[in-house]
Amino acid sequence: MSARLIGAVVLGALAGTAAGADILDAHYDAARDQIVAEIAYRGTNADHEFVVEWGRCSAESPPRLAGRLIDRQGKDAAREDYRVSEEIPLRDMPCRPALVTLRLGRSAHADLFVEEK
Amino acid sequence: MKAIVLVSAALAFASGAALGQPPHSPDADALYRQGLSARQLLDAPLRDARGETVGEVQDIVLDRGGNIRQLVVELGKQSLHVPWRDVSIGEDMEFVQVALRELPRDEDAVPGAWRVNELIGDYARLADESRYGLVTDVIFSERGEATAVIVERDRAWGGAGHYAFPFAAFDRAAAEYALPYQRDELVLLEPFDYLRLDRQSVYAGR
């Protein structure tokens, strides 16, 4: 589940992956206990919803964990470039604290540390 | 200390050779001869049965065993799944062609399916250390079976570049793609040679 933080902005150019989506920035927002990810993608509209699919925690300390961002409109045609900020809630995160790698599409990733709750 | 020549290791795996086989296997050229690169397939133009370009390849759907089942292609406003059995590879891997007169409209579910774009871009780890490098490519045999993953590592690991490892399985829930080697095992590595792949692949000049 994610909530849109700011409106989508049509970009002049998308410096992203060949797959058409990129994570421009991601950080842990301790005050609201969520991840905020700035995402660029190509589509026909500014309403793409990105949800996170958590992986499995590794045995290390702190554990490593992959979160795969899924574009709910992944079949949308790549027409225009958009940039959105997504709030990613952490209630389903399987372990904390953790070193999280967010993945999106082909080769887009961002690393961040999520603190203990 | 066991030293592994990665390209050879990949071939030994791909050809089903015994694990105890010396790493400098004489059939090591097979990876390049039969190799089909995912990176070359992705974004390749898709031509229809008449040879007209109608779209491009967005992704590759594989089954649990690492066999290509479908190509995800973008045609105008649509994203469709084309069965791999109906696809042929064009000259120098520069396009793919589908023999179907009408492309399928529905996606057939593939049990345990995953997409190559989920693996490409993942971090690769060793048995004893994390963040060995990034998975940048997957090499397939002529039959569409994943035989090797290409990992780009940086200089800190003893030499920067792209290296081929045998493909085992993809666990999309794992934090990193697991390579079953210790750091000490990977001392004599031959970088993967894309120019050689371009020259020697069965798809070159086809």
Same domain, B191 and B132: yes
Res B103: pLDDT: 60
The size of chain A, in residues, is 117
Check CB contact of A78 with chain B, cutoff 8 Å.
yes
**A63 near B CB under 8 A:** yes
- B121, B170: one domain: yes
Please identify, among B114, B143, B178, the residue that sits at the C-terminal boundary of a domain.
B114
Measured between CB atoms, which of A55, A58, A77 is closest to B172? A55
Q: What is the CATH number of the domain that holds A33?
A: 2.60.40
- Structural domain of residue B104, as residue ranges? 38-114
Note the pLDDT of residue B49. 85
Residues B132 and B192 in one domain: yes
**Quick one: pLDDT at residue B105?**
55
Domain that holds residue A70: 3-114
In the prediction, which pLDDT does A83 show?
Answer: 94
ipTM score = 0.73
Which of these three, B92, B114, B136, is where a domain ends? B114
Question: Mapped to the 3 state alphabet, what secondary structure does chain A carry?
Answer: CCEEEEEEEECCCCCCCCCCEEEEEEEEECCCCEEEEEEEEEECCCCCCEEEEECCCCCCCCCEEEEEEEECCCCCCCCEEEEEEEEEECCCCCCCCEEEEEEECCCEEEEEEECCC
**Same domain flag for B26 and B76:** no
The predicted model scores a pTM of: 0.81
The pLDDT mean for chain A works out to: 83
Confidence of residue B77 (pLDDT cuts 50, 70, 90): confident
Q: Is residue B176 part of a domain?
A: yes
Q: How many residues does chain B have?
A: 206
pLDDT per position as a tens digit, B86-122 = 899 887 778 899 876 666 655 567 778 999 999 999 9
Share of chain A above pLDDT 90, in %: 62
Percent of chain B residues topping a pLDDT of 90:
39
Q: Kindly state whether residue B59 falls inside one of the protein's structural domains.
A: yes
Regarding whether B176 and B138 lie in a shared domain, the answer is: yes
Q: How many domains does chain B fold into?
A: 2
Band (pLDDT 50/70/90 cuts) for residue B75 is confident
Name the minimum distance, in Å, from the CA of B112 to any CA of chain A. Answer: 15
Inter-chain CB proximity B74 and A77 less than 8 Å: yes
**Cβ–Cβ below 8 Å for B77 and A109:** no
Is A59 an 8 Å CB contact of chain B? no
Does any domain span residue B206? Answer: no
pLDDT digits over B116-126, tens only? Answer: 999 999 999 99
Please tell me the total count of domains within chain A: 1
Is residue B1 a part of any domain in this protein? no
Same domain, B28 and B43: no
Segment B5-44, tens digit of pLDDT = 444 444 444 333 323 333 433 346 788 888 899 998 999 9
Nearest chain A residue to B75, by CA = A77
CATH number at residue B55: 2.30.30.240
> Tokens representing A54?
């958590």
The predicted structure's pLDDT at residue B45: 94
Q: B103 and B129 in one domain?
A: no
- Whether residue B205 lies inside any domain: the answer is no
Domain stops at, among B114, B135, B150: B114
